[in-house]
Amino acid sequence: MRITFFLACALSAVLSQAQLAKVTMADRQAYHMNQNRPMVVVNPFSKAFHVKNLGGVMSDGKDGFMRLDVWKAGSGKEGAYVHLLKFDHKLSIVAEKETVLEGEGSENMLPVLIFNTPGSIHVVLAGGSKEANQYSIFYWEFSDADLAVKKAHVVLASLPFDKDKEYTLTSVRNQKAGTFGVTVLEEGGKKEAAFLHSLSFNSSPSLVFKQSTTLSFLGKKGRISGTQISESGTVFSLLSYPDEKIDELFVYSVLLAGKEGAKLLPLASGGQPLINCDFGLSSDNGILFSGLSWPGKKDYSAALAVGKISSSGDQSILKEEPFAPSLLDVLQKTKKTGLSKDYFVRSVTQRNNGVIDVVVQYCFQNIGNSASGGISGVVELLDAVIFSFEGDRLVSTIPIKRNLYQGTNGSAATVNPNHFGIPEVFTAENNLYLIYFDNPENTMGANDGKTPKSKNFYKGVVTLARIDKNYKTAQQQLLDFDHDEGFMNFYEMLVYKIDNKRYLLNSDKFGVFTKNVKTASLLAEVK
């Protein structure tokens, strides 16, 4: 079956069902987390703080892995509760350890970043300080053998705090260099501008720089959509905010923060703003970005733009690629003028051989009031497309047809339309891999214009796909929601990266009164 289009370069790829990964499944395991008291997720400073990018699943350096959770214990003054689980390669729990944080304000500490190095687990937290009008970024180091404390309550940085504001903390770590960054978006108001605090830390860890930038344009609806950090410690933040003319349409900028200051770079191509963007690290310590070119008030985008920002802040467009008529004929939500504004860039990545891959997907959500006065919502996952570029030349275009939906009455899940539906995209050995929510009647790569029959999320599957260096594709079904009770639906599933080849699909259910945690897990080890 041919699965590429004859566009800039005529390439073919053959779809196959293949054994891409070794799969281990552990369904409905149960474990206990400190049964002597009720457990409450850490949420310091009332409802002021929100956290993104928290990962607590790590390799054990062998063939197993570890999971660390940090919780607030009850409502007393005792410090936050730390729970360590160790799993073998069969997903069996082989060890459990627990401890409690001690120190000023530790009862209200919120985990921001968790990672490990040989022999140690490192936890970065945000918490109150002795001064009522500020909070601090703290650091703890534990032995991965028995949770013995190596370093405790180390203050890495302090920032001003206002209990009437909300703060969004995002963290990211560069595994190669050991540098990590923390960004704090401090909300604005009608008369106050938002602030973005960008903090960069070396591997010691110690603070390298802290840059605070006023973002008067961000408003109440603006948000931070992603964070990256280079090996040298430069922090890049992707910001999205409503267009000046069309409030429901979001445009994007990248804030580059370094030792010498910060620089704001709006994302645009040919004088037109880019919408529905994403970004990722380039091979030379800069940033690659991609988005849909937006021609004003029209509802459809005619081109995909791919650009680059250097570590010094130089910005350039590598390619603006018009959507080919042959592609528009295959996808579901298009016109002759281009793609619907509900197509989003999921990722932009670079393989070791220099190929740049841009993954785009259709994700639509609508949340409103039902006829009975409750909340209702719908989420649709339709096409996804992988665009591959060699330099400034488009060499492969591979569509994935999914046609999945979920409607709810009485409740509604808010999803990130960029990332929901394709929870993981990664590269290995010049291959591109995707873990994505799929239709069992998938027609990946087919250009015959046929669309699989619409399926509810509960009847969907999770698929691992590979696009190799020759742009040939292969798929492997990892999980069938219709038959695996441990994973009830897509909303409950999380994907954790253990290392470059191992990914954990996990679904947890917490017993509010029993303190039991029931977990279903699937380990995919890419061959």
pLDDT in tens, 144-170: 999 999 999 999 999 988 878 888 899
Query: What's the N-to-C CA distance of the chain in angstroms?
Result: 24
Of residues 93, 18, 106, 6, the one with CA closest to residue 468: 18
3-state secondary structure of 459: helix
| 247 backbone dihedrals φ, ψ, rounded to 5° | -65, -35
Helix (H) or strand (E) holding 462: strand 461-467
Q: How confident is the model at residue 373 (pLDDT cuts 50, 70, 90)?
A: low
3-state secondary structure of 329: helix
DSSP state letter for 17: B
Is the pLDDT assigned to residue 462 strictly greater than 90?
Answer: yes
Neighbours of 199 (CB within 10 A): 22
Of residues 396, 366, 302, 283, the one with CA closest to residue 14: 396
Cis preceding linkage at 322, omega within 30: no
| Cα separation values, 96 from 3, 31, 392, Å | 48, 9, 51
What is the CB-side half-sphere exposure of residue 350 using CA atoms within 13 A?
20
pLDDT in tens, 384-416: 999 999 999 999 999 999 999 988 655 556 788
- pLDDT score for 52: 54
Q: How confident is the model at residue 458 (pLDDT cuts 50, 70, 90)?
A: confident
User: Which range, of 121-135, 260-274, 276-290, averages the lowest pLDDT?
Assistant: 121-135
Average pLDDT over residues 106-120: 88
Cβ-based burial of 321 (10 A; exposed 0-12, middle 13-18, buried ≥19): buried
pLDDT in tens, 190-247: 778 889 999 999 999 999 999 999 998 887 778 899 999 999 999 999 999 888 777 7
Is there a contact between 376 and 369 (Cβ–Cβ < 8 Å)?
Answer: yes
Taking the C-alpha atoms of residue 479 and residue 351, their distance in angstroms, rounded to an integer, is: 27
Of residues 383, 404, 386, 381, the one with CA closest to residue 330: 383
Of residues 330, 347, 240, the one with CA closest to residue 294: 240
Checking DSSP bridges between strand 49-52 and strand 167-173, what pairing results, if any?
A: parallel
| Cα separation values, 520 from 78, 84, 403, 483, 493, Å | 31, 17, 26, 13, 9
What is the CB-side half-sphere exposure of residue 440 using CA atoms within 13 A?
12
Taking the C-alpha atoms of residue 525 and residue 511, their distance in angstroms, rounded to an integer, is: 30
- Exposure string (b/e) for 446-467, b if CB count within 10 Å is 16 or more? bbeeebbeebebeebbbbbbbb
Is there a contact between 13 and 398 (Cβ–Cβ < 8 Å)?
Answer: yes
What is the CB-side half-sphere exposure of residue 435 using CA atoms within 13 A?
24
Select, from the ranges 2-11, 70-79, 186-195, 199-208, the one with the highest average predicted confidence (pLDDT). Answer: 199-208
Output 4 or 484, whichever has higher pLDDT.
484
Strand partners, 21: 526
Taking the C-alpha atoms of residue 13 and residue 468, their distance in angstroms, rounded to an integer, is: 9
* Count of residues making up the chain: 527
Show me where the domains of the chain are located: 26-45+57-156
Residue-averaged pLDDT of the chain: 84
Q: How confident is the model at residue 371 (pLDDT cuts 50, 70, 90)?
A: low
Taking the C-alpha atoms of residue 491 and residue 109, their distance in angstroms, rounded to an integer, is: 27
Q: Where are the beta strands (DSSP E) in 118-148?
A: 120-128, 134-143
